[in-house]
Amino acid sequence: MFKSALAGLLLLTAGTAMAADSTKEVSIPFADMGSIRNFDPVDSHTILIEDIHGQWFKASLMGPCIDLPFATAVGFDVGGTRTLDQFSSVIVNGNRCAFQSLVATDAPKGAKPHKPKG
């Protein structure tokens, strides 16, 4: 009985470690050169971003970005670094909305899988 309880504790610990990885800050290199493929506004505080490899990221914003839920086009300000990261911003209708974090996430429901060219 002790062994099964210990195994359950190890599985719980492993699951916690995996969940912690999903909150790790990430970046998208060469964002100013076309490495961003798609975006999906979730609400006024969150935008999902897809890179050219089909990987999705979730950007949480520092405050509300009023027009974001209705945006059909956005820009990204990488601050001269060429990399989209937690210090970047999304620009919607001329308004700059600063990121609070940028983490990897699953594709949104209904998103078509990326098919490599070739």
Domain assignments of the chain as residue spans, ordered by start: 25-105
pLDDT tens-digit series, residues 49-73 = 999 999 999 999 999 999 999 999 9
Mean pLDDT of the chain: 83
Tell me what pLDDT residue 5 has.
38
pLDDT at 22 over 90: no
Q: From residue 45, give the alpha-carbon distance in Å to each of 7, 59, 60, 81.
A: 39, 8, 6, 23
Query: Residue 58 in contact with residue 71, Cβ under 8 Å?
Result: no
pLDDT at 85 over 80: yes
Tell me what pLDDT residue 50 has.
97
Euclidean distance between CA atoms 58 and 18, whole angstroms: 17
Tell me what pLDDT residue 112 has.
73
Mean pLDDT of 76-80: 94
Tell me what pLDDT residue 18 has.
34
Euclidean distance between CA atoms 79 and 51, whole angstroms: 18
pLDDT at 86 over 80: yes
The helix or strand, by DSSP H or E, that contains position 4, with its residue range, turns out to be: helix 2-21
Concatenated DSSP letters of 27-45: -BTTGGGT-EEEEEEEETT
pLDDT at 77 over 80: yes
Which of 28, 38, 109, 97 is CA-nearest to residue 67? 97
Q: Where are the beta strands (DSSP E) in 1-118?
A: 36-43, 46-51, 56-61, 75-77, 89-92, 95-105
> Quick check: helix, strand or coil at residue 106?
coil
pLDDT band at 110 (very low <50, low <70, confident <90, very high): confident
